[in-house]
Amino acid sequence: MSNEDQIEYWNDNAGLKWTQQQDVMDRMLAPVTSLLMDAAAIAPRERVLDIGCGTGETSLIAVEAGAEVTGVDVSKPMLDLARSRVDGRAEMLLTDASEYRADEGFDLIISRFGVMFFEDPVAAFSNIKTNLKPGGRMVFACWQEPKMNQWMMVPMQVVKPFLPEAPATDPHAPGPFAFADAERLKTILSQAGCGDVSITPHSIDLCLTQSGGAEGAVNFSTQIGPASRALAEVDDAVKPEILKALEEAFAPHDNNGQVTLDGGIWIVRAS
């Protein structure tokens, strides 16, 4: 099992951009974080493993709930920021969750969008489960299918005509929507030895910008997501046209400077 492509990706520009956009991302994902933490119901003194802890938002919340927290991530830029945010109150490890083995089990394993990138998800979750204490629980958030996530589909549809025609991709390949199929996800977790699997859908509003309207949303989407990747691939002469098309697409969603689009997630519980 190798996750080298993902490790390289999150240690390159993607990790740097997420670090630079940490405050924006945490605000945008606040509805997800709230649902995740409500489902996790962290109790004081519990041992918590945060998979794909990123820049540290969920680890910090777990620490403030009184838990003993270990955060793991493959992205050094993001983990460096996470370490500074938790300020020594949690152990933050640069490691791959699909291979990490703790000396002592955890009461709870959480993840906010950190588990969809494994090359071999069954093997990865089999390893992750070894870190759970008997009776322990796992709670994570992942994206539903693309059509339920207009915050990503709107810019994706804008940039698509500007890009060369690409071959069809495997919808189950590592990436944001790898677990969009709930039945497939349930099968993966079952094959990995997880029990009591429940997958609950939630519709949420995701605010791409708190101010600046469509122009602010363009600025965000050109830093994170499909539009950012498209701009890196096209000639400079085409970029102004893409930016104009993005602004026009976001304009109908502008409400007094805030641009909000629909999102859909699964909250997954297992033991």
Report if residue 252 sits inside a domain: no
Residue 94, SS3 per DSSP: strand
Report if residue 216 sits inside a domain: no
pLDDT digits (tens, 9 = 90+) for 71-89: 999 999 999 999 999 999 9
Query: If you average pLDDT over residues 242-262, what whole number do you get?
Result: 95
For the ranges 18-27, 62-71, 231-240, the one whose mean pLDDT is highest: 62-71
Report if residue 77 sits inside a domain: yes
pLDDT digits (tens, 9 = 90+) for 182-218: 999 999 999 999 999 999 999 999 999 988 999 999 9
Quick one: which H or E segment has residue 137? strand 132-143
How many Å apart are CA 62 and CA 48, to the nearest integer? 8
Residue 1 pLDDT > 60, yes or no? Answer: no
pLDDT digits (tens, 9 = 90+) for 135-184: 999 999 999 999 999 999 999 899 888 877 767 778 889 999 999 999 99
DSSP conformation class of 255? E
Report if residue 244 sits inside a domain: no
Query: Could you give the angle at the alpha carbon of 80 between the alpha carbons of 79 and 83, nearest 5°?
Result: 85
pLDDT of residue 2: 61
Q: Label residue 66 by pLDDT band (50, 70, 90).
A: very high
Residues near 170 by Cβ (< 8 Å), separated by ≥ 6?
A: none
pLDDT digits (tens, 9 = 90+) for 217-232: 999 888 887 778 777 7
Report if residue 245 sits inside a domain: no
Least confident of 4-8, 175-179, 195-199, 253-257: 4-8
* H and E: helices and strands count for the chain: 12, 8
Task: Tell me the torsion sign for CA atoms 42, 105, 91, 9.
Answer: negative
Q: What CATH code is carried by the domain that includes residue 82? A: 3.40.50.150
Domain that holds residue 125: 4-145+169-207+264-270
pLDDT digits (tens, 9 = 90+) for 95-122: 999 999 999 999 999 999 999 999 999 9
Number of domains the chain contains? 1
Report if residue 251 sits inside a domain: no
